[in-house]
Amino acid sequence: MQTQLLDGTWSLSSVDPSAIVNNCSYFSNINRIDIDIPGDVHSTLLDRGFIKDPYYASDELSTLWVGQNDWKIERDFTYKKSEKKVILSLTRVDTFACIILNEKEIANTDNFFARWNIDVTDVINDGENHIEFIFTSAEKVAISRNAELKYPIPCSLYPNGSPNRNLVRKPQCNAGWDWGPCVMSMGIYDPVRLIGVNEVFVKSWNCIPKLIDHNWICKAEITANVFEESDVDFNIHLAGRDEHTIVHVKPGKEYYSFTFCIPEEDVELWYPAGQGGQHLYPMYISFADFSDKRMVAFRTLEIKNNITMGGKELTVCVNGKDIFMKGVNWIPMDALYSRITTSRYIKLLQSVTDANMNMVRIWGGGFYENEAFYDTCDRLGILIWHDLMFACSTYPSEEWFLKSVEKELKYQILRLKSHPSIALWCGNNEDLGALTWYEESIKNRDRYVMDYDRLNEGVCGRLVRELDPSRVFWPSSPCAGPGDFSDNWHNDGSGDMHFWTVWHEGASFDKYRSVKPRFCSEFGYQSFPSLSTVKSYCPEEQLNLTSPIMEHHQKNPRGNSIILENFSRYFRFPNSLEKMLYLSQAQQAWAMQIACEYWRTLRPYCMGTLIWQLNDNWPVASWSAIEYSGKWKLLMYHAKNFFAPITPIGYIEDGKLKVFITNDTDKAEDVKVSVKFSTYRGEKVRQHVFRVTVEPQSVLEVTSSELDDIDVTNTFAYLKASTQNIYRESVIFLTEPKKCALEDPQLKTQIRKVGKGFQIEVSCSRPAFWVSLDANSIKGQFSDNMFSIRPTAQKVVTFTPESDDITLEEFEKNLSIYDLYWAGY
């Protein structure tokens, strides 16, 4: 089988130069410029200086014209025919492209998520060829489709957003979101392949071992186009087994399979992070003249949705073990596709496990990710809650739309189903709830419910059950589960819920303790990025939270106001931008700690918390735990502690300090728990020590201490949990921090270079709270951050820079240290 890549330098030109002359006069004089494929139009224009950086200042607005116009990408190439058939194979073509080969139209793409296998045998020349992709603006197509609708199909709109994004099968967040820019991209983001074949063209293959009677039943499945009847070899190698058979293939048949067994004791199991090893076995396959390799895992996975404790649970059970899901929501890592790299995938996903998380939710407004994403999740043991790509909208149920979705899902499900990291397929993000958001759907409920059902159950659910019966189809997030079509918005009794009362409705952080979710798959609180990131997009004269540029990099209409309102609710108000940026991140981390820790104490009633959101797709104020640059916010560091397997948890309820210990491990732990009350001068008030045994995969309430005799404005609680190998601590304020009599901790640091990194010893004269280190523009990671210390116990933190050549002097110059007293006292 011959494969030729058409990657490399192509030519980019405007389809109608007169339409863009006011924005870019260059194309009215010179016909074309070079573009790298895989690549996108925006990045190419940016690299050539024809547009400003849409991530800087408000220059996003000056680039909107790019996605509103049509573009052509073309090249010449030579091809030597040697096989009987030639297939042009394309994925991630964005989005509406007329493809012309040697002046003959061969296909029209209309779905970013689909695969296009185009038979070009009779069109391609043995020798010189010319290929063109003529892209039509997705925004123009969406507007045109909207004009032809029999009735409105409403969707959520965001600042500077592109209209009618729900009418095109393109990543929905390209049209702008309440955390992202409007970049209506165009381009080709995967290799362009010419594949020469003889008898068989393999479209997909997969293998999901199934445990039956102590044997793993391995069924290798292939979908293929057969061009000629013949007998072909089918060879498989997996886990030390070599299997071979002869398969008779004939035109018109697409599905072939071969089943073999591997004894249970011959392989090791795959587990999520923190629960066991991530054992992966290379599987080699050859079928006719096709050969390939992928990694296969042996594990069982069940999504339990039984009625327990008064409602339907959502429990992830792997290899017979019920596991509490600790994780985050994932959005596309960049609005400019040329900047998405394997190394960035690995760095972000490694951060997930570094922070003691075991699940990511691929949110439905983005896209099905690159193989590198899923391979990394498999290797690291990160389970994936996988939305299908529909979000915050109603969608058409017309035949042309449903057929396009069917093509998309047949490709994506078969492409991805072998990955052991995928835990479930979910129909959409909030589309069930969205039926109650719009005037049109409220007034004509039955029409839009019928549309929803035709798409979500008639296409999405049907195809998941047909193509991947090994996994549950979860109808929508949030919902109560399969077969239950009630709107589960803010319903904490069954299935998964999204809880946004604190952020969107302005409730206090205590409100997180007013609900008892079975599984909370979305909740979050915003913060600003760090000062170094803010300076990367904001000119010096605009460094003010209410300046036009700072507000442009806040896509949630009330976002900045909400953050500032809660400063005054909980803290003494900061008096500088730097203090506001720090306090916003500390506030965000604290809010998420309150939610996550409380819901962890509800185990096994609650079995999952997925924070909104892990990452940003440009530099912005948002709900992210990691800034666009890859820099951890304080939330990520804090999550590393509050998601630790063995964690002391404390909160105030009814005038008492309640203390719990979690144990997410598989063995019982003997834990020494210390509950110490101290004044803000560092004077001990009282202390209680408990020795408890915490059973595996459980949580234990240790004590409930009365606070009647405690001056809560001058006292804090200090929790310690220690085992033979583990030491964890946590600090609890007994009232709002703004009422606390904090004293200047007089922080001191001693820094020394150790190898290529640095060791920072932090000490204090008075108790210090939420001490945070920032290396500013030096990229790297601290071993710990946002910690509290006492005069009798200094803290030693390491910093590992990404670069090997950072000097001690350079690091000392860039290092900033913050704490809660500094922020507002």
Residues 452-478 pLDDT 10s: 999 999 999 999 999 999 999 999 999
Does residue 561 sit in the same domain as residue 453? yes
Q: What does DSSP assign to residue 456?
A: I
Query: Residue 332: inside a domain, yes or no?
Result: yes
Helix residue ranges per DSSP H, 320-382: 342-354, 371-380
Kindly state the tokens that stand for 550. Answer: 């700072």
What pLDDT is stored for residue 27 in this prediction?
83
Cβ pair 792, 681 in contact under 8 A: no
Q: Angle, to 10 degrees, between the axis of helix 634-642 and the axis of helix 577-601?
A: 20
Give the DSSP H/E element, type plus range, for residue 317. strand 315-318
Distance CA 274, CA 724 (A): 18
Average pLDDT over residues 495-511: 96
- pLDDT of 489 > 80? The answer is no
**Residue 49: what are its φ and ψ, rounded to 5°?**
80, 15
Q: Which of 417-421, 482-486, 584-588, 799-803 has the lowest mean pLDDT?
A: 482-486
Domain shared by 696 and 635, yes or no: no
Say if residue 359 is in the same domain as residue 277.
no
Q: In this structure, are 84 and 149 located in the same domain?
A: yes
Beta strands in 520-632 (DSSP E): 520-522, 608-611
pLDDT band at 342 (very low <50, low <70, confident <90, very high): very high
Cα of first residue to Cα of last residue in the chain, in angstroms, is 71
Joined together, the tokens standing for residue 309 give 């404790």
pLDDT single digits (tens) 206-217: 999 999 999 999
pLDDT bin (cut points 50, 70, 90) of residue 731 is very high
pLDDT classification of 491: cutoffs 50, 70, 90: confident
Cβ count near 755 (within 10 Å): 9
Does residue 320 sit within a domain? no
CATH of the domain at 258: 2.60.40.10
**Residue 719 and residue 594 in one domain:** no
**How many Cα atoms are found within 13 Å in the side-chain-facing hemisphere of 284?**
8
Query: How far from 514 is each of 25, 274, 492, 588, CA to CA, in Å?
Result: 59, 29, 10, 19
Q: Rg of the chain over CA atoms, in angstroms?
A: 28
319 within a domain of the structure (yes/no): no
* Domain contains 306: no
CATH of the domain at 167: 2.60.120.260
| Confidence band of 607 (pLDDT split at 50, 70, 90) | very high
Same domain, yes or no, for 408 and 463?
A: yes
What confidence tens digit (pLDDT) does each residue in 129-174 have? Answer: 999 999 999 999 999 999 999 999 999 999 889 999 999 999 999 9
Please compute, for residue 528, the number of CA atoms within 13 A of its CA located in the half-sphere on the CB side.
30
pLDDT at residue 42, rounded to an integer:
98
Amino acid at site 807? T
Q: 772 by DSSP, 3-state: which? A: strand
**Residue 307 belongs to a domain:** no
Residue 25 has pLDDT above 90, yes or no: no
Largest CA distance in the chain: 91
In a shared domain, residues 185 and 243? no
Distance of alpha carbon 268 from alpha carbon 264, whole angstroms: 8
Give the end of a domain, one of 173, 195, 217: 195
- Are the C-beta atoms of 247 and 267 separated by less than 8 Å? no
Domain that holds residue 40: 2-195
Beta bridge partner(s), residue 722: 672, 727
Check whether residue 452 and residue 485 sit in a common domain.
yes
Helix (H, G, I), strand (E, B) or coil at 778: coil
CA neighbours within 13 Å on the CB side: how many for 34?
6
Domain boundary among 614, 641, 668: 641
> CA–CA separation, 435 vs 582, rounded Å?
39
Last residue in a domain, options 157, 173, 195: 195
- Contact 340/333 with Cβ under 8 angstroms? yes
Closest CA to 363 of 187, 189, 171: 171
Across the range 514-537, mean pLDDT stands at 97
The CA distance from 822 to 770, in Å, is 10
Question: Is the same domain home to 531 and 677?
Answer: no
C-beta separation of 258 from 243 below 8 A: yes
Q: Identify whether residues 674 and 566 lie together within a single domain.
A: no
The SS3 call for residue 169 is strand
Residue 649 scores a pLDDT above 90: yes
Task: Place 29 in a pLDDT band, splitting at 50, 70 and 90.
Answer: confident
Q: How far apart are CA 641 and CA 528, in angstroms?
A: 21
Whether the link from the prior residue into 604 is cis, omega within 30° of 0, is yes
Q: How many residues does the chain have?
A: 825
In the chain, how many domains are there? 5
Which residues have C-beta within 8 Å of that of residue 6, sequence separation ≥ 6? 37, 75, 77, 131, 191, 192, 193, 194
The answer to the question of residue 467 being in a domain is yes
Output the CA angle 640-644-648, nearest 5 degrees. Answer: 115
Task: Note the pLDDT tens digit of each residue in 539-560.
Answer: 999 999 999 999 999 999 999 9
pLDDT at 28 over 90: no
624 shares a domain with 684? no
In a shared domain, residues 31 and 58: yes
| Average pLDDT of every residue of the chain | 96
